[in-house]
Structure 1
Amino acid sequence: MKLTRMLSKKLTSFWLMSLASVAFVFLFTAVLSFVQLTYEFQQQKVSEIESMLVSHYEHDNTWKLDSWLPPVLIAFKAAEFTLIKDGEPFFEYKDKNAHSNIVTYKKLINKKQNIVMKMTLPEPFTLHHVGWYELLIFGIGIIIIALVVRFGFYWFSVQLDGIEHLAQRSQKILKGEYDKALIEKGLGQPRVINRALTRLLQELEDVSKQRERFDQSIRSNTFLDPETGIGNRIFFDNRLDALTDEQKMTMPGVMYFLEIEDLDLLQQDSSKEKIDEMLSLIILSINQVLSLQVNSLFARRSFNQFALIIPQISQAEADRLASKLLKVCLRQATNVIGERNDFVHLGGAYFNIGEDKAILLEEADMALRAAQFQGTSSWFMYDKGALDRDLSKGSVQWRSFLENALVSKRVFAFSRVVFDNDMLEQHREITCRLRDTQGHLIRATLFLPMAIKCGLTPQIERQIIEIVLFDILPSQRDSGLKFSINLSLDTLTSRAFIRWLTRTLLEYRHLMPQLIFEVNEIIVVNHMDRIKDTLDMIRKMGASLCVDRVGQQVVSAQYIKQCHFDFIKLHKSIVRKIHLREENQLFIRSLMGGLSRNNIVFGAEGVTSLQEWQTLQILGVNVGQGPFFSELIEEDT
């Protein structure tokens, strides 16, 4: 534990310095005392000999100096001794063992006779030698000190371990990993702080759940029908507007109006529970049929009328789909309320690019009335000969065309600039188009649904990534410019593609900060378990993650926290005429409130006017893209 080791080392170092300071003071005092005592002891020896000589001359002692003085000098370990009378020495003594460090004392013994004593002694320290006993005691002392220091270090580490646990939990909280911080309660100390963190995290979790339920309730009440759980009239209008540009349809497809006759009378004749069961079964069956249709729309327009929009579908497929929808509705209704001849009617209107939205609604309504005029449960398709010839191609022709385009490298990258609040380029979203043998560009909205049916989206998106990594990024002078690339479900679940992507991202890891990978919200919500590992791998490689088309469906925003997305792009159905639609503004406020603690950049797709962009900025949206900012730009490769 890094923090614990650091604090333990600092405290142990402080402790050792304190001990060393105290030991130094004691040792210095002891040395001074030892020096002083040895010199005083030597002075005492000199004084004793002086007193002996004074006594010898004052009492006229008959003992000769040669008889008693040399043994005394030997006992005192004198190096030299001289008695001087009137400047002339008359008694000398010299030790045979030479001493290098000596101290000389000179004393007046007798004033009358003018006798001076000169005595040379070795320094007190040279008389003492350190023996094995002293060394043993010194070594034992060092070992005891080392053991005490080691024990102190261990004790400090144990005591500070609780602080490290608190630091780890706090770090996870700062990173926004509240769930992990709550699960790992640990052994944090002081325990009062640890328990306080646990309680606060628990309360925060409860508040987050309540906020999420509240936000989900707001979005549900705004865009969902409370009885059936599918989109309501507002939801249908938003999604339909997203498919238009200046009230003109931007892609081909079909619109159905499905109406259940006399539903209010049936509720009076039968129990409400029975009718609710029938509606649930019909809606479930329709959703199962539409599960194979990409970007399909199913909503309730009124009490007994439902609307369906299926883009990117040929007229022949629309006829087969209408027949299938009618059959599943009649089958489920018969199972609950019995067989009825004139019960369910389905009217459809096929539309092409550039058709007026209002006219399309009228045509779908006329088709529904025509089906009702037939007198039995039936469907009717309004046909005005609007058939997209490209969509009328068979799957075999499409597969052949797409495979030839991939082999011939006829995938071309286009980009749309995404701007921030200061109208500076934030990043560029990459899309692609194919070029046929005549040199005509084919838009992605046309060939991508066919590529999904043929299972060729991984190959197409692989070429797009290669174009960005190998051609576009190396040619950019600005190393801070970012590019976003969309990934489909087939791509994210392809093992071969994931292996290739992992190797490529490792090889070009220095370019990862410039890449953003975008995933559709519906894909993330419905296939979280299948793609989460891949998204985590991309994020760990250093690239950013973005979820787009947010708000296309009414779902919980919990997936955004689980996958750690860096960017959110609102679907254009939410953005379209946002300045006039308070319910869409409420949706954005609710979404931002639930993600306020996450460091997420909010963006908007399909911005078409200054009023929309100003309203989005007021709501807190950071970046925007769409016709208001720029059109598609072909990248130089």
Structure 2
Amino acid sequence: MKMDARRAFQSLADSLSRDIGDDFFMHLVDRLAVILNADAMMIATPVADGSRLRSMVLMADGKHQPDVEYETAGTPCRDALDGGACIYPENVCSAFPDDVLLRDFGAEAYAGVAMRGPEGELHGVLVALHRHRLHQRRLVEEVLRIAAARCGAELSNRRTEQALEKTATQLDTTNRQLKRAHRALTLLRLVNRAVIRLSDEMAIFQEACRLAVEQGGYRYAWAGLAQDDPERSILPLVSAGGADELLRHARFSWDVTTPEGQGPSGQAVHEGKEQRVADYTTGTVAPPPWAERFGVVAEVALPLSLGSERRGVLVLLMDQPYHAGADELALLRELADNLSFGLQAMRAHQHQQNTQQAVLDMAELVTARSDDAFFTLLVRRLTDALGADAVFVSRVEESVPLQATLIAGLVSGQPVEPFHYSFEGLPCESSFRDSEHVIARGMSQRYPRAEEMVGFAVEAYVGRRLEDANGDAVGILFALYRQPLHDPEPICHLLRIFAAGASAELERRRSDAHIRHLAFFDPGTGLPNRVHFMERLQAAIVRARTEQYRVALMFLDLNRFKEINDGQGHDVGDQVLKEVAARFSGCLGRLESLARMGGDEFVVMVEQTDEIGAAQVVGRLLSALNDPVVHEGHRFNVDVSIGVAFFPDDGDSSRELLKHTDIAMYHAKESRSGYRFYAPEMGRDLRRRLVLASRLGEALDTKRLELRFQPCVDLKSGDLIGAEVLCRWHDTELGWISPMEFVAVAEEQGMIEALGSWVMEQTCRQLKQWQQASLDRLPERLYVNLAAAQFEDPELAIKLCEIAARAGVSPSLLGLEITESGFMKDPEQAIRITDTLRQQGFALAIDDFGTGYSSLAYLKRFSVQAVKIDMSFVSDMLTDSNDHAIVATIIAMADRLGLTVVAEGIETPAQFEALRALGCDLGQGYLLSRPLSGDDFARRWLSRDGQRQDGLGDTLQAMERPA
């Protein structure tokens, strides 16, 4: 339908002239739809950066639609915004295929005009859409331009009004903020003055709260300290504005996992920055349970940093909404900072004064130290310094866990008598475990037993463990209070100073006791040591001399204990000694005392006794070791040798008596009798051994020992096979010394290795001389005896090979004779050594076979070539059927094992014939030859001019019978 231009402009004018108020744009759209015969009308304004439009009014088919928002790119609206107007009479969807709004509406024609204000500012676009072709393009554009100008003016007016309203609101807010900032500035100034003027922490807190209410205009104010208790509570200290009743109904915490800890005060302490709730009535933040009752609408919590991880909070409560400005908040933060700094400075000054006084007190205590008065004075000084109602210092019991003995205590100014107590039901256990423990309040509810100790309801506790230099606990020091502690840190600091002095004194006393114990007791067994025992023995001798009675002294030495130490290690040996000491102690009576002299040696003193009584004690001591000592699954058969001497019979002094028991013990060990009573002749024997030991050492150094060679012959042919090397010693003062005697002395005195090396060196040297002398014959081997002690050296084979190498002698010309006891002490090591020696060429023979205690199972594993029948069996084999059977058995066994048999000590032709008849291979003895010097052996056995042994008859006739 063709539009009448005149009527259109008149209708538009009527619409624009009406004062419709807030419905202006909706009314305008309705009228434009009629005037322009449009199917849809829209007024849209830019969003954000102008790339999008949002509809203010959208009408389609006579109905108002929900607002929409869409991108302007690729739409005719973009052209209208950029160019001021955009008209598409037809096919608009084809021109803008990406315009969803056009496509969804099914538009055929589009007309859009930009809306601008009086100053040319762009406000949006006014759009008309038609589903039919647009015939009166210019009329439509002109109508839209007029309407768009009016819309732009209306939008500018409205935005101006909004800006004016906002400005007025901001001015009002600014005025209120300035007033509050002024009050905050005044409050800051007054609080700073209070911090400078006052010298008590509680007074400063109280004044800050009072000023916040009276000068700051806040309804309530309170200050509190964060506690380190399990609940992480906040303890209110002071308040103003009548907040006492409020605080009695409230509970505060800085544990943010709890409802109480999620409030402003808890958050401020936890996060260390101010927290505020502007209005609890809006419902955005849940108010605390007490807020409505006490008319609290808003809240500000300011954190206080009080040093040493000590934290507090200043809380300001209001009865109306609180919208603080940046300036006011900055002033409140400054107030909290200044308050914190002032309190820290004041506290540091007080702390310094208290510390100086505590140090002076400790110095005075140490200077005037007295074992009796030190801890008594300490608890008095500590009570005054800490302001405590009770102070206790105790020594922990080492033998009983979590128990202590009170050294000194003060309760309500009165000293407490020492007593024993356990930590059960007391916070001492926590102090003992954690080094330091504090209960600021509620002590009686948690530990009611504390009231029993002191006689009053205990509210607070501060305790500290006392430690030695190694950090080990030696005691505990604690203070008790009737009232809660608002600030335990200064008390803890002073307690540490006094605890250091108490710890040092306890350690000094323990060290003195330990030194005394070390000086007089054996650390391994706990028995009195040599020094302590000698004092006790001397005192017993004085009493015995005065009261005319006898004292028996016993010297105990464990047999073969060295084997346990060497085989199992010293740790096991120490445990065995501890068990042995316990057994000895358990079998002794009141007048019988035990001590350890060192190593595996013990002594027992028996007062008022005789030989019968002493023998009974000896019997008990020997029986104490009847059962094996068991340790970690190992069983050790331990026995002991005991020497007994009497005062005054065997010695008039402690040293003489001890020496004679040692001599008697030595004879008991040698005779394997278990015990021996001292006899004078024992001393003479010992003195000879000592002389022999001294002169044997000199003989080894000056090479005054000699070698003798005893031939070993084939019993069937009489031919020389080899020789045994024997050592002889002639002393210029003592004459000839028996090998049995000086070899035993060498083993006792640790000279056996040197003696064995000397014999091997001289043997190799003699063998080399014979080789260089071009003699008619040489022995197949020279056999050298090895002592049992030499097999304790794992490098024995290496040393013997080195000796032979230095002399230029092949080991194949040497044989080694070892006793059964020599290789049975450590069979596995002996097997390794003998295997090595055989590999190097040495021949091995077991000497004195049959007299030891070896196992045939071990014998099979040793790399030996021969066994030597001991002369004790040979000498009586013709008169004793048992000895004859033993000899026959050894020969048969050796034959089965492929070993050569050598008989020692052949002295008669009958013995010779009997041995040969039994199948014995080789023999040596006085019948064949005495031991000879190297030169004599060469002349008689190695020279063609010497005695020939062409047959047994010639041999027997040629050899001299022993004298």
In the superposition, the TM-score normalised over structure 1's length comes to: 0.39
Higher helix proportion: 1
**Bigger relative contact order (CA 8 A; separation at least 6):** 1
Structure with larger Rg = 2
